[in-house]
Structure 1
């Protein structure tokens, strides 16, 4: 009887997993890819986050792949947070005009046109 119950539980869990995996989308990035990164309030020390600050920053390059679920990015010097992000907070960057973007280390986020 215990083996029958165990088999039923395993079959039920497999069905739940299949249903959940239908909605999952695996996102894989390579080192050097340009991405947009979401900055959540929880990433900052208390008192340093402003609700008027930018929600996403980018395009920034990926510097290291930790595993399929975590990547390290090259954050600007002004960001006071860890440079390791989960894939839930990373989006691939696509330029608005479809052109090629070159990011150099001399550029800073404050020198971007259109920002005051």
Structure 2
């Protein structure tokens, strides 16, 4: 009887997995790919997160692939959080047009240029 119950549980779990995999997309990135990174509230210490802060940063390059589910990202210096992200928080960067993409921190240079 226990063997039958165990087989029934295995079949049931396989059906649940097949139903969940229908909606799942596999996202794989390579080192050097430009991506957008979602910053969740949980990544910051208490009091450091503002609801008016940017939700995504990027484009930023991928430094290293830890496994298919985790990547190390090159974050700007002012971002005080871990550089390791889950694939759920990473989306591929698609430029709006065929313009050249600069990876440098354009926000700091534009704010310095406006102060003159």
Structure 2: segments with no counterpart, 5+ residues: none
Aligned to 2:87: 87
Decide whether the 8 Å contact of 1:76 with 1:109 is kept in 2. no
Give yes or no for the alignment of 1:63 onto 2:57: no
**Does structure 1 residue 53 correspond to structure 2 residue 20?**
no
Aligned structure 1 segments of 4 or more residues deviating by more than 6 angstroms: none
Structure 1 residues 59, 112: CA separation in 2 closer, same or farther (over 3 Å shift)? farther
Q: CA deviation at 1:44?
A: 0.5
Aligned residue for 1:109, secondary structure, equals helix
1:109 pairs with one of 99, 107, 113: 107
Residue number in structure 1 paired with 2:2: 2
**Cα RMSD over matched residues?**
1.8
Higher helix share: 2
Give the Cα–Cα distance (whole angstroms) in 2 for the partners of residues 54 and 78 of structure 1: 13
**1:92–1:112 Cα change, 3 Å:** farther
| Number of equivalences | 112
Work out the CA distance in 2 between the residues paired with 1:95 and 1:32: 16
